[in-house]
Amino acid sequence: MKKYTLYSWNVNGIRAVSGKEVLPGISFPQFLIHEKPDILCLQETKADSHTLPPEITRIPGYFFYINPAIRKGYSGVAMYSRTEPVSIERGGLSPEFDTEGRIIIARYPEFVLLNVYFPNGGASDERLAFKLRFYDAFLEKIKAMQAAGERIIFCGDVNTAHKPIDLARPKENEQVSGFLPVEREWIDRVIDAGFFDSFRLFSDEPEQYSWWDYKTRARARNVGWRIDYFFVNAAVRPFITGAGIRNDIMGSDHCPVTLTVEFP
């Protein structure tokens, strides 16, 4: 059996989180050694490899990959992997989206993994339209990959809570980006295309969140949203052995979400 433990985490700045205690007595670089994930996907890294110190980019036992936005200090994704992927692709949707450094695609012998930082639509009508175009382009990409027979896992900050159970105050947020009907309907389309929200395969419990607003100190009251996901297609589903939310891990306004898969 080949087992993979995957983590996905919006760190809200990789430099910022690297200086914080994410578990009692454990800093971010030590976190990888402590938790030993096979793959750690990060979103909203806000950095490029040239500006990061070696204690972040050269953690013993891990290969490191990063896809920064052209705009400095904005967006970006990164990935740590204990085994070297067969291939790495940065971007791959279209020039409109690829300048923002939102995707790393890593191929492994057993599956293909897409680490994605989906756009936030809250800043303006223009950014909401951009988010929806990104959603559509991404769905077309994974549908094409699925049609080609790929085993697909995609993870990241989707920036949308799917159902009322996925946020603390659904009624108050019905007209807020992140819980708009048009955004939620896109997740329905992902599921209709044959993908599964891995966490909900294991838990139907409420009050399970991955993001809390910093300004209102919402985490202390668990007034949160579940907007970070691992989705898998039907070709991967039989191999899932666990999925979870690590709300004990601090350092960001998000916490990591996890997935464990075992292939024969």
Active site residues: 157
Q: Among 35, 37, 7, 14, which residue's Cα sits nearest to residue 23?
A: 35
User: CB under 8 Å to 24, separation ≥6 — which residues?
Assistant: none
Distance CA 223, CA 211 (A): 9
User: CB under 8 Å to 5, separation ≥6 — which residues?
Assistant: 36, 37, 38, 39, 258, 259, 260
- 3-state SS, the chain, equals CEEEEEEEEECCCHHHHHCCEEECCEEHHHHHHHHCCCEEEEECCCCCHHHCCHHHHCCCCCEEEEECCCCCCCCCEEEEECCCCCEEEECCCCHHHHCCCCEEEEECCCCEEEEEECCCCCCCHHHHHHHHHHHHHHHHHHHHHHHCCCCEEEEEECCCCCCHHHECCCHHHCCCCCCCHHHHHHHHHHHHCCEEEHHHHHCCCCCCCCEECCCCCHHHHCCEECCEEEEEECCCHHHEEEEEECCCCCCCCECCEEEEEEEC
